[in-house]
Amino acid sequence: MQDLTFETLIAVFEEMFGRGLFWLMVAAAVIVTLGYAYVLIRDREVSWRKFLFAQLSMPVGAVLAVWFVMAVTRSRLADIGGPIDVIVMLGIAAAGAVGMAILVYTAESLLGTRRTKG
């Protein structure tokens, strides 16, 4: 693999997760992102109370993302071999944390019984 292209990345992710699971995760990410954009446009401001609760959920998202990737790839923490593996795991944890915060904020805004300001 001499060139890192978008098609190569998609092929690698499809191989890692399986075609169905990968595209299901992409669809879920798109739906949550569109929901988040809808909530921000609808409310016209960020609710800092919901934002704080979403931030408190970030460690859970980080742990779940690392656990999910390790379960799907049948890996263990003992399989981490070098600095690049640590960097990849930190990237997965960061993506999981941000994804969880967006998901929690969106779900709280869409499923909440009342809109809160502040």
Whole-number mean pLDDT of the chain?
88
Render pLDDT for 85-101 as a digit per residue (tens, 0 to 9): 889 899 999 999 999 99
How much of the chain, in percent, has pLDDT values that exceed 90?
A: 47
| In the block, residue with structure tokens 């890996």 | 75
What was the pLDDT predicted at 30?
Answer: 94
The pLDDT of residue 58: 96
Contacts of 97 (CB under 8 A, 6+ apart): 58, 59, 61, 62, 65
pTM of the model: 0.80
* DSSP conformation class of 77: G
Region 32-42: mean pLDDT is 92
Lowest mean pLDDT among 16-20, 50-54, 74-78: 74-78
Q: Find, among 92, 87, 26, the residue nearest to 61 by Cα.
A: 92
Query: What average pLDDT score do residues 26-31 get?
Result: 94
Per-residue pLDDT, 1: 56
